[in-house]
Amino acid sequence: MNLDPSQLGGSIDVSSIMQDFDPTRLNVSGFYGEVIQRSTELRREQAQRVAEEFGAHVGREVRAQMEEISQAATAATARAEQLLVAETESAFQQVRSVCQEMGDEQSRRFNEVLDGYR
């Protein structure tokens, strides 16, 4: 019988139940005792496999989310660099137009300085 813990309104910690169960305390001997002991071992192994599979699933989900965050951060950084270059170019153009109004010699010197910063 397979029960879904959500149907019971909570979760079941199978591993702690199985750890507390000791078939040697039962007054069953021989074949039945071995069957109970092997059944207990199989349930413990199954609980361990389920826990490992769940852990692997969570790990994959976390890695996928970290990759999405990394890609978003990379895209945001690239966009910020584009905006910075555009704003800087706009500022250079404004300074150049002011320099042109000041005269040829001063304009030439400012343009040389500005070109040095590019």
pTM: 0.44
What is residue 10's DSSP assignment? S
In sequence order, which residues have a C-beta less than 8 Å from that of residue 37 and are 6 or more positions away? Answer: 23, 24
Separation of CA 15 from chain center: 28
Model confidence at 15, pLDDT cuts 50, 70, 90, reads low
Residue with tokens 């910690």: 13
Question: Could you identify the residue written with the tokens 């690239």?
Answer: 78
The rounded mean pLDDT for the chain is 78
Helix (H) or strand (E) holding 107: helix 104-117
42-52 pLDDT, tens digit each: 899 999 999 99
Can you tell me the distance from the alpha carbon of 79 to that of 91, in angstroms, rounded to the nearest whole number? 18
Residue 58 has pLDDT above 50, yes or no: yes
- Mapped onto helix, strand or coil, the DSSP state of residue 79 is helix
Over residues 36-62, the mean pLDDT reads 89
